[in-house]
Structure 1
Amino acid sequence: MLTSKLCVKNDFSEPWFIPWRESMKHDANGIQLGGRFLHRKEWEFVTVCQALEERGMLGPGKRGLGFAVGLEPLPSIFANRGCTITATDHETDSDGAWDGQWASDLGALNNPDICEPSIFHKNVTLRRIDMNNLPADLNGYDFSWSCCALEHLGSLQKGLEFLHSQMRCLRPGGVAVHTTEYNLLSNDATLTEGPTVVYRQRDLSELQYRLEKQGHSLEPMNMDIGNSMEDWFIAHQPWEDTTKNLSHLRLLIGRNICTSVLLIATKSRA
């Protein structure tokens, strides 16, 4: 089974990766999924699906809660599996910061190539929430997920608090699967506040401590950083070099070399 881990190129050729990749048929941030191009966002979508599948979460009768879903394909995939999904996003995108990614309405959220619209509208609802102030009525879910959302909550601590507080949305034994930005360069200097922050190994250790203190568990972290050419290529804004080199697994945020990290947590059964 997948454990908490870093994004690496070798995952793209794993037997479990390929079918998910081929099923998504979705354009993420202007990137066509499923081709030669290797994008860490696609890795996030696939590993979230695989982690939930392995834990028996994707099927009829299962309830899922997605945070800051934007236009990602996961609500469509989960709805097509028969799950009942509460997809959430923030209230507005008045400043255009998430143009092309924000879920304006429920219809915009569905990909009809993945899920037939009548099934989607039967199984999915869209709610507007503040991830820094979760509503009390979000509870009893079998699983929760987010893909690179919690690093945009304002600070490292706000993201950690979200990961801790969202556990109360799950039923006992429920599974939380989240991805975020990870600092490959330093366990000290990083972006700690602002529109995007970058988590270090020490922050994940703090998260593990906080979860275990409440009786929850965080899957052990696989710290393999990969050794392929694609694992060493660093993408820079405005990302033109990414398309040329067919890889966007590592990138520069500020002075931090980053990648995506998958975090898998299970709620206490007590």
Structure 2
Amino acid sequence: MITETRSIHAEGDALDLNPFAFWPAYTSRLEPLGGKEPCEDPDYVFHTLYAACGDGPIAVTVTVSDLAAERGTMILRIHELPDGVGSNARQIAIKQVQLVDLIRGDGTAMISALARHGHTYAALGHIYGDTIATASDLQVRIERRMPDPNAADIPSEFISSRVGVVPLIVGTAPPSMTGPVSQMCSAPQFRERAYADWAAYLGGARGKASLSQWQRVFIARTLDRYDMARPGARGLAIGGLDEPQLVAVLTASGCMIDTSVRTSGVASAERLIVLDPEAMPESVNGYDFVFATREQGIGGTWKDRLAYIESVLRCLKPGGLAIVMADAIIDDDAPAGSDVLAWHDIVRMGLVLLSRGHQLAQLRRDIRHPYAEANDAQIEQSAFGFVVRRR
């Protein structure tokens, strides 16, 4: 038997499914769950029976208790099976979840699909990667419910097609404010018409060269270029109180902007979120776009900065856009004893982000025409903006 005797039909109906009922004898990759026999598919985690769900949206919630793993990716799927002898199942929904993200959260992941009369639906999961994963329990629940458009795991409605797969991770063309990507500040950008227009729009002086103004213009121009600054889009400005004019422009365009500070000293601000960028709470999520200014970034190694970017990405809905600014230098490697971000560090970070399923706008710098300002350590320092679309 591959179908459930139970079914759901109306909004709010739910079933708790046996995650191992389809292949009860096989061991799960989540040790020590499942049966006792080795599975022919070494990546198998669970497979429920097929259940009739009526006609409407369904949500499958997978909860893993006491999950332990150092790495690995769980792929969740929903399969649809037409009624009738000899019918073949097909995949109608798929979702990728990093095991480390499940551990950081509450061990819960959800995948949604649209059910139809005359069909039944099963949930299944696999774990890929060189890892050992253990858990004390695995629960699967399927229910009929309309998806919450503001839920953190519902893909953003404002997904930009401009961030996608690129033939070269590191570009050969110089960075430009006309078509911004992940790029380093450079002197020619200050002379572009696009830069001058956006600087004036944001209340800055035309022709003025400063890293602070470049950051402001880059964020605004990138959100415009990637079509994110649209009515109804929800944005989080990490360090937004440092850029009141930028936040005001985005709000005027119809975006709903939350701003953040490290302390509660300005509690009178509207939609204010108090957070520490070095310890982003799991409750801060569900945004269509996020920008984080250089002033709100963290120091340390490139791995520390990478962890910071990933914490920013967790604030987004799937498909949401992050613009993360960082202090950087144009050189390949940083001076001895300095924790400033160098070009080789930036490339390493980009490669890791891509390997984890995110999409990264092409990396660019202009080594012939750099722009830098001396920092407190008298290092000639520039700025870099990462443009990343969450997987």
**Pairwise same-fold verdict (TM > 0.5):** yes
**2:201 is matched with which residue?**
23
Q: Residues 116-131 of structure 1 correspond to what in structure 2 (within 5 A)?
A: 121=270, 125-131=271-277
Q: Distance in 1 between matches of 2:373 and 2:354?
A: 30
User: Shift of the alpha carbon at 1:169?
Assistant: 1.4
**1:222 is matched with which residue?**
364
1:85 aligned to 2:257? Answer: yes
Write out per-residue CA displacement over residues 229-266 of structure 1, whole angstroms, 9 at most, x where no aligned residue.
Answer: xx56xxxxxxxxxxxxxxxx432452532101111111
1:50 aligned to 2:186? Answer: no
Give the 3-state SS of the residue equivalent to 2:385 in structure 1: strand
User: Shift of the alpha carbon at 1:182?
Assistant: 0.8
Q: Residues 171-250 of structure 1 correspond to what in structure 2 (within 5 A)?
A: 171-185=317-331, 187-189=333-335, 197-227=339-369, 231=370, 249-250=372-373
Q: Distance in 1 between matches of 2:334 and 2:196?
A: 36
Q: Distance in 2 between matches of 1:155 and 1:216?
A: 21
Change (3 A) 1:56 1:164: same
Give the 3-state SS of the residue equivalent to 1:161 in structure 2: helix
Q: Match for 2:291 among 126, 145, 159?
A: 145
Give the 3-state SS of the residue equivalent to 2:213 in structure 1: helix
Q: Distance in 2 between matches of 1:215 and 1:21?
A: 34
Give the 3-state SS of the residue equivalent to 2:288 in structure 1: strand
Which protein shows a greater Rg?
A: 2
Relative contact order, CA 8 A, sep 6+: which one is greater? 1
User: Shift of the alpha carbon at 1:135?
Assistant: 1.4
TM-score of the superposition, structure 2-length normalised?
0.50
Aligned length: 212
**1:134 is matched with which residue?**
280
Write out per-residue CA displacement over residues 93-123 of structure 1, whole angstroms, 9 at most, x where no aligned residue.
Answer: xxxxxxxxxx83455xxxxxxxxxxxxx5xx
Q: Distance in 2 between matches of 1:199 and 1:154?
A: 9
| Percent of aligned positions that are identical | 21
1:75 aligned to 2:247? Answer: yes
Change (3 A) 1:212 1:36: closer
**1:13 is matched with which residue?**
191
**2:93 is matched with which residue?**
none
Q: Decide which structure has greater strand share.
A: 2
- Segments of structure 2 that go 5 or more residues without pairing to the other structure are 1-178
1:165 aligned to 2:311? Answer: yes
1:104 aligned to 2:266? Answer: yes
CA RMSD, aligned part only?
2.3
- Segments of structure 1 that go 5 or more residues without pairing to the other structure are 26-32, 93-102, 108-120, 233-248
Partner amino acid, structure 1, of 2:198: W
The answer to whether the 8 A contact 1:150-1:162 is kept is: no
